């Protein structure tokens, strides 16, 4: 299988980007072709053979990654598998690309693989980086219902069939949108603890737009993908969880502003998943109301 990699950068982490690209170059087996997308910023110096695309404006995470996908042909069709890697991450092992090839070759239903993210100093994997409800054991691999945006591998046939990431989301929940569409099309998603991306421990709330985007995109996600009966249940559960976490007053104000925005603005095409997919998600341990 031919493997490519997409990395988006704001140009502000040149040393980390170079270390990531070096770790990709060291992968066992056939060479992994890499495209680095400068998302509204110049791309720092990269090794020979690495292709670059510089965008005049920041299109957000999904928009930037979609540009990287198309750099490999329509829907990424010039390769069989695409790795999506954060520019401040580092592939911890040299066999990750080979493990991806083996996993996809062995399982025709497998569409997406979510890697384990580990802090390079402590080896710790944050609970939020284990894409399932039972997240206490990050070393257990399993089927899951979503994946991690900056540490994953996608069979490009999935992108050809169901489309790429939702550009308008800009940041937050774009992976779950793609995951639900892939699952509805019959693909499966695996979390693999042996495929590791080293990445410094961070809090998602470091982004100024975090609370607004999370709320707005949660509404868009439900409106786009869920059967009508489940939309109020899903959003009601997430509103209750948000209130139970007792965010600060400014954070809560931003969250409710994003929630209102999610209802008041277009969310893109609505393609509700089949009830068979709802049952599949439930059997996998995460019904689409949580």
Q: Mean pLDDT, consecutive 10-residue segments, the chain of 290 residues? A: 98 97 98 98 97 98 98 97 97 98 98 97 94 94 97 98 98 97 98 97 70 97 98 97 92 95 97 98 94
Cα dihedral sign, 244-250-256-261: negative
102: its two tokens: 């083996």
CA atoms within 13 A on the CB side of 283: 8
Burial class (CB in 10 A: 0-12, 13-18, 19+), 126: middle
Cα dihedral sign, 78-82-87-90: negative
- Count of helices and strands (H, E) across the chain: 9, 9
258: its two tokens: 């994003």
**Cα 286 to Cα 30: distance, rounded to the nearest angstrom:** 36
pLDDT of residue 72: 98
- Model confidence, pTM: 0.96
**Cα 179 to Cα 150: distance, rounded to the nearest angstrom:** 14
**Cα 267 to Cα 32: distance, rounded to the nearest angstrom:** 35
């Amino acid at each position: 299988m031919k493997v490519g990699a997409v990395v988006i950068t704001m140009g502000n982490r040149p040393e980390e980007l170079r270390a990531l690209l070096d770790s990709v170059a060291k992968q066992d087996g056939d060479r992994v072709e890499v495209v680095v997308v400068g998302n509204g910023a110049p791309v720092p110096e990269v090794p020979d053979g690495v292709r670059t695309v510089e965008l005049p404006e920041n299109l957000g995470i999904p928009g930037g990654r979609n540009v990287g996908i198309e750099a490999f042909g329509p829907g990424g069709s010039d390769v069989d598998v695409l790795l999506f890697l954060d520019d401040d991450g580092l592939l911890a092992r040299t066999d990750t690309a080979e493990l991806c090839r083996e996993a996809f070759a062995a399982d025709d239903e497998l569409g997406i693989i979510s890697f384990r993210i580990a802090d390079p100093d402590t080896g710790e994997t944050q609970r939020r980086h284990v894409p399932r409800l039972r997240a206490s054991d990050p070393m257990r691999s399993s089927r899951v219902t979503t994946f991690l945006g900056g540490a994953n591998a996608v069979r490009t046939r999935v992108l050809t069939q169901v489309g790429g990431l939702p550009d308008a989301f800009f940041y937050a929940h774009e992976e779950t949108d793609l995951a639900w569409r892939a699952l509805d099309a019959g693909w499966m998603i695996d979390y693999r603890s042996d495929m590791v991306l080293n990445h410094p421990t961070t809090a998602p709330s470091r982004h100024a737009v975090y609370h607004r985007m999370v709320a707005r995109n949660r509404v868009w996600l439900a409106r786009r993908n869920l059967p009508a009966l489940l939309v109020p249940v899903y959003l009601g559960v997430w509103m209750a969880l948000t209130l139970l976490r007792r965010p600060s007053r400014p954070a809560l104000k931003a969250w409710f502003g994003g929630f209102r925005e999610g209802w008041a603005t277009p969310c893109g095409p609505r393609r509700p998943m089949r009830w068979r997919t709802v049952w599949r998600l439930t059997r996998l341990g995460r019904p689409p109301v949580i």
